[in-house]
């Protein structure tokens, strides 16, 4: 089940809630526990500032969008986390999806891992 970037982002946004302020230094957003199971259980993503909460929400939406596009793997997830490290950078969901999509498939393959294990 793959889809275009725009359609995947639109669909992914329906699974992730908007930031909620619980106190002056506590923000929360509700998102699926697993990016590859958006209809499954959800969890709280907590942050101590609004900008950090928006970054966490964008990261969750981007991960789900990449899953819907069929392009989510460890490297793509790491690229998203790397991009949101500076939460004041104002990354959009589109740039996070692009970064994750560019990193997709750049890691070692199963054959590379097997060859590495044989050399030990």
Domain annotation covers residue 51: yes
Bridging pattern class, strands 26-32 and 42-47? antiparallel
pTM to 2 decimal places? 0.84
Q: Is 35 exposed, middle or buried (0-12, 13-18, 19+ CB in 10 A)?
A: buried
Mean of pLDDT values over 92-102: 91
- 34: exposed, middle or buried (C-beta count within 10 Å: 0-12, 13-18, 19+)? middle
pLDDT at 96 over 70: yes
pLDDT at 16 over 70: yes
pLDDT, tens digit (0-9, with 9 covering 90-100), for 44-83 = 999 999 989 999 999 999 999 999 999 988 899 999 999 8
What is the percent of the chain with per-residue pLDDT over 70, rounded to a whole number?
Answer: 88
Which element (helix H / strand E) includes 30? strand 26-32
Domain carrying residue 39: 5-107
* pLDDT at residue 88 greater than cutoff 80: no
- Residue 116: inside a domain: no
Residue 113 lies in a domain: no
Asked if residue 27 belongs to a domain, the reply is yes
Count: domains in the chain: 1
* 115: in domain: no
pLDDT at 120: 46
In a domain, 21, yes or no: yes
């Amino acid at each position: 089940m793959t889809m275009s970037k725009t359609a995947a982002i639109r669909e992914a946004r329906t699974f992730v809630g908007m930031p909620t302020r619980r106190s002056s230094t506590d923000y929360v957003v509700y998102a699926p526990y697993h990016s590859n199971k958006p209809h499954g259980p959800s969890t709280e993503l907590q942050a101590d500032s609004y900008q950090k909460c928006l970054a966490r929400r964008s990261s969750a939406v981007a991960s789900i969008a990449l899953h819907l596009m069929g392009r989510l793997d460890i490297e793509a997830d790491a690229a998203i986390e790397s991009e949101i490290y500076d939460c004041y950078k104002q990354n959009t969901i589109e740039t996070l999806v692009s970064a994750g999509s560019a990193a997709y498939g750049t890691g070692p393959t199963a054959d590379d891992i097997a060859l590495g294990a044989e050399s030990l």
